[in-house]
Amino acid sequence: MLEVTELIRTEELEMVYRTEELETLALNKISLSINQGEFVSVMGPSGCGKSTLLNVLGMLDKPSGGSYIFNGQLISEMNESQRADIRKNNIGFVFQSFNLIDELSVFENVELPLVYLKVAASERKKKVAELLERMGIAHRANHYPQQLSGGQQQRVAVARALVADPKVIFADEPTGNLDSVHGDEVMQLLTELNRGGTTIVMVTHSAHDASFSERTLNLFDGKLVSEISNIVKETL
- pLDDT tens, position by position, 25-34: 999 999 999 9
Q: What is the mean pLDDT of residues 147-176?
A: 90
d(CA 122, CA 80): 31
Mean pLDDT of 96-112: 93
The per-residue pLDDT for range 44-72, each reduced to its tens digit, is: 998 899 999 999 999 999 999 999 999 99
- Percent of the chain topping pLDDT 70: 97
What is the per-residue pLDDT for 235? 42
The mean pLDDT value for 200-216 works out to 94
| Lowest pLDDT segment from 1-15, 109-123, 190-204 | 1-15
pLDDT at 232: 63
What's the chain's length in residues?
A: 236
Q: pLDDT class for 39, splitting at 50, 70, 90?
A: very high
Q: In what order do the strands lie in the sheet with 199-203?
A: 91-95, 168-172, 199-203, 39-43, 215-220, 223-229
User: What is the percent of the chain with per-residue pLDDT over 90, rounded to a whole number?
Assistant: 72
User: What is the spatial distance between Cα 63 and Cα 77, in angstroms, rounded to a whole number?
Assistant: 9
Q: Return the pLDDT at 2.
A: 52
Q: Which amino acid is at 116?
A: Y
Instruction: Compare 135 and 171 and report the one with higher pLDDT.
Output: 171
Over residues 215-235, the pLDDT tens digits come to: 999 999 999 999 999 876 444
Residues 143, 105: Cα–Cα separation, whole Å: 5
pLDDT at 22: 87
pLDDT for the residue 180: 87
Average pLDDT, stretch 194-216?
Answer: 93
Average pLDDT, the chain: 91
pLDDT at 1: 46
Average pLDDT over residues 178-200: 89
* Cβ contact 235:223 at 8 Å: no
Q: What is the pLDDT, as a whole number, of residue 233?
A: 46
pLDDT at residue 234 in the model: 43
